Amino acid sequence: MEVSVYQKSWPIRGSFTISRGTKTSAETIIVELNSDGVTGRGECVPYGRYGETLENVKAQIEWVLPEVKCGISRDQLQSLLPSGAARNAIDCAMWDLELKSSRNSVWDALQVKPEPLTTAYTLSLDKPHRMEQSAIENSHRPLLKLKLGGPEDLERVQAVRRGAPNAKIILDANEAWDKETYLALIPELVKLNVAMIEQPFHADNDHFLDGLDRPIPICADESCHDRSSLERVIGRYDMINIKTDKTGGLTEALALKEMAENAGLRIMVGCMLSSSLSMAPAYVAAQGAEVVDLDGPLLLARDIEHGFEFSQNLMMPFDQRLWG
């Protein structure tokens, strides 16, 4: 088996800001596995919040390449690398190679009929008046996700609600709130008909949720990576955000989804900022999810070839030339 590992920079439309900084491009790593003339691909996004960099993720991938070249299985890969970006790229490339080599589709393999999905569209963190303008421009979208993380958060949500009065709104607080902020904001956010709040507290402060009223469902993002995270999430959160870059690939994402559903947790499937190649495995995991946040391609100025098509706010099933 031949293996290629390379970095890709995807330009973003304008810029994209969250509480941890502003991006003008999405930096990803793509793994290609080639066997008998068939190529499988997987893409990952190193995330600094988890101590990941392009350099150390590449190093993790290269460390396990001898075993990959020898033909280890996806199950064996799970024990060789931890959950995270490096394993995600390899795991998804393995899926793609297996499916293409067998001339099978991921839908046939999983016995799932793919359905078009409505994805959230993310509004970048900004001053309230700018977020209101962005909301007006995207008011035709049924689901808007707001990036928050500062003292003007209530004003931001109020501004977006003015700009998009009919949209369903979900919030990503990016671990930026304390308990006092939560208690002050929740009654106002209920009035604004906010549908869900993602990760209000730092993951180290999950205990803040113990005994707190949750009139708006709370979703774990940084607090939930894989199945080992569920023990501390159950009872505190209503929902989890599954991302393949956190789970370390589609293999663990599907296992996490099943275990979480069995535990009574609701499912959101999200993404890092990346191309349609990253979205395809996530789209598989997102079938049947309550909230889908796979708008990465919509935020890029240029996408990978054979990328997702969007029709009337629906994300259509992907072309097998892209993945799977």
Residue of 58, 100, 145, 147 with catalytic role: 147
Tokens of 169: 């709104």
How many angstroms from the chain centroid is the CA of residue 86? Answer: 15
Question: What is d(CA 321, CA 25) in angstroms, rounded to the nearest whole number?
Answer: 24
Which of 219, 154, 220, 218 has the alpha carbon at shortest distance from 192?
Answer: 154
Do the Cβ atoms of 44 and 88 come closer than 8 Å? yes
Q: What are phi and psi of 104, to 5 degrees?
A: -110, 160
The amino acid present at 128, given as its one-letter code, is: P
Question: What is d(CA 207, CA 38) in angstroms, rounded to the nearest whole number?
Answer: 48
Tokens of 160: 């977006």
Residue of 145, 243, 246, 257 with catalytic role: 243
Please indicate whether residue 243 is annotated as part of the active site.
yes
Q: How many residues does the chain have?
A: 324
Question: What is d(CA 96, CA 40) in angstroms, rounded to the nearest whole number?
Answer: 5
Cα angle for residues 279, 283, 286 (degrees, 5° grid): 130
Q: Catalytic residues, which ones? A: 147, 243
